[in-house]
Structure formats: C-alpha cells, structure tokens
Amino acid sequence: MSTKPANDSNKPMLPMTQDDDKRALILRLKRVEGQLRGVQQLIENEASCEAVAQQMSAARRALEKAFHVMVGCMLEQQMEQEHGPASKKSRDGVRHVTDILSRYS
C-alpha cells in the first residue's frame, strides 16, 4: 500500500497550522475521549444497552464533526496550494460547507 498523499499534485499535504483551529480540534477530541471513558464506565457499571448505545452515538457524532473539520482543513490547504493564500471569504465558505456536512450527515 502506498503512503503517497492522495492529491493529484506531487505536493505533500500540509499540517494544520492555524492555532485557533488546532486548539479547537484538540479540545473537541478531548471531549470525545471523555465521552468514550464515560461509555467504558457505563459498561463497567452494567448500564442498560440503550444508555451505552446513546453515549456511543454521541461520541461517534462528535468524532464525525472533528473529521468534517479536518476535511475543511484539507480543502483550504488544497485551495491555497492551487491558488495562493485563501481570502477570509473563501475560508468562511469552506467552514460553512463543513458545518452543513456536520449538521446533515
């Protein structure tokens, strides 16, 4: 299996560099981590399957939202690699699309 980036250009994908975005994503992942610990505790305490399923669903949705944020980051980076620094309007547009993905997927 190839470890080459999945983009069409030979340029490697860049790391997330916006400090506010990184901080927000780390906090989101820490919340997911806490939710998963809560699921483990529910199982250890023999909570009902429905209660466990509810909490697993919430953790899954939170992780999906973090994934959508990363997809938005990838879109922004691709735009910047192809067209130069993105304008605030372009970044806001990408964030709007990722919000829609998170809300309706």
pLDDT at 11 over 90: no
Structural domain includes residue 13: no
Q: Which of 9-18, 45-54, 63-72 has the highest mean pLDDT?
A: 45-54
Could you tell me if residue 70 is inside a domain?
yes
Listing DSSP states for 32-85 in one string gives: HHHHHHHHHHHHHTT--HHHHHHHHHHHHHHHHHHHHHHHHHHHHHHHHHHHSS
pLDDT tier at 3, thresholds 50, 70, 90: very low
Residue 25 exposure: Cα atoms within 13 Å on the Cβ side: 17
Asked if the structure places residue 84 within a domain, the reply is: yes
Q: How many separate domains does the chain show? A: 1
Domain-embedded: residue 6: no
CA distance to 19, 64, 77, 82, 100, per residue, from 8 (Å)? 27, 25, 13, 11, 26
Whether the model pTM is above 0.85: no
Question: Is 4 domain-assigned?
Answer: no
> Would residue 12 count as lying in a domain?
no
CA dist., res. 58 & res. 51, Å (int): 11
**CATH code assigned at 70:** 1.20.58.1000
Domain range for 69 is 19-104
The answer as to whether 77 is a domain residue is yes
